[in-house]
Structure 1
Amino acid sequence: MEVGSRELFSEAEEVLREAFGSSFRYARAVVDYGVASVAVAKLGGEVVGAVVFYRASFPRVRLCVIYYIAVLEGFRGMGLGSVLMSTAEEVCADTDLYIATTWYGNDAADALYRSLGYTAYSWDELRRLLGRRVVDRLLKATCGYDDDVAYVKPNRGDDPLELLRLVGYGDEEEVSRLWRETCLYTWLRIRGRA
């Protein structure tokens, strides 16, 4: 397992492109913005899996966002996704909560996250439990979509909903800037509007 940032993204790019199509550019955006780390899994010198993750800090809670994770189809079922996730969690050991998002129906991601102790929530469910302000900030921090599923896992056994509630405190300028630079502007470029 290798961990780095920009220097490793070129190795991870093909795996991410194959798994996510043009959406891999969102992963590139957080790496280029300088906030993300990249871990790659290699077998026989070939990159067969990758994870892109970053920290999103709020005044009272620190999140580790597992942004993109992929393992090439021929190498799935070997535990590489678990190893990549564990690597991201180890690098982010100083955070309070791990969070990942994916689309409904992504059964492989759902099985992986649940096997590692993550709890799944719809954004509507979180909105009812935590309020719109918290969810709006989380959507920005994760570059998530309202129809995604959020998977959360506390780092030290705390109540994940109590930790998420802390996102609502303080200024959100840092997370808004991250969202603009890595989500909104990337979305506009993909659609030829920027």
Structure 2
Amino acid sequence: MPEPLAPAFTAKMGPARRGPDPKQERSARTRLQVLLGAAELFTERGFRQTSVQDVADRVEMTKGAVYFHYPNKEALAVAIVEEHYAHWPKLVDEVSKEGLSPLTTAARMLERAALAFQEDVIVQAGARLQIERPQIDAELPTPYVDWIALLRSLLTAAEEAGELRPGVEPERAARSLVSAFFGSQHVSDVLSGRADVVARWADLSELLFRAIRAD
């Protein structure tokens, strides 16, 4: 005979839930469609050269339908940048589960981030919008600081594990890695539309991590 449920679990059990609301699901799909269309245009043209009408044309909707989900172009930009930043915690969680050493984890995260910059239009658009933040009349998150903090934490753990070359300071190394990574993806964007961002970062990553890794 099975044991009875623990009281804490019993308390959480309520009436059977209804299935998802088809209208809400349809609305969520439409919002995503608009967001992806806007991301493509912001990536291709930039914020200033993209209008709400352009977005509507790209997703084959009326301008009113776009405004129903996003009241203005600034709201679209903010939503894309927020989605851009929402990508990184998921990546961190996935890489953390691989059970790598701290220094290898740092390298792996940047490698995966480079792939996202090459393949994910939301990530690409978010990066361009951050560069164009002076043109956007909306508050956007401060870029780069979270990446610096994450890498500083990993490099500190790497130092404690004896993975860092003597004399390498985690804070300075983290700042340098972030500058190199985001600089390389920007150069790749300008020269090849990010088609070579993974290969470009692989070359730079090998050089940088060899410089900070203990012999």
TM-score scaled to structure 1, two decimals?
Answer: 0.28
Higher helix share: 2
Normalised TM-score (structure 2): 0.26
Q: Which protein is bigger by CA-based radius of gyration? A: 2
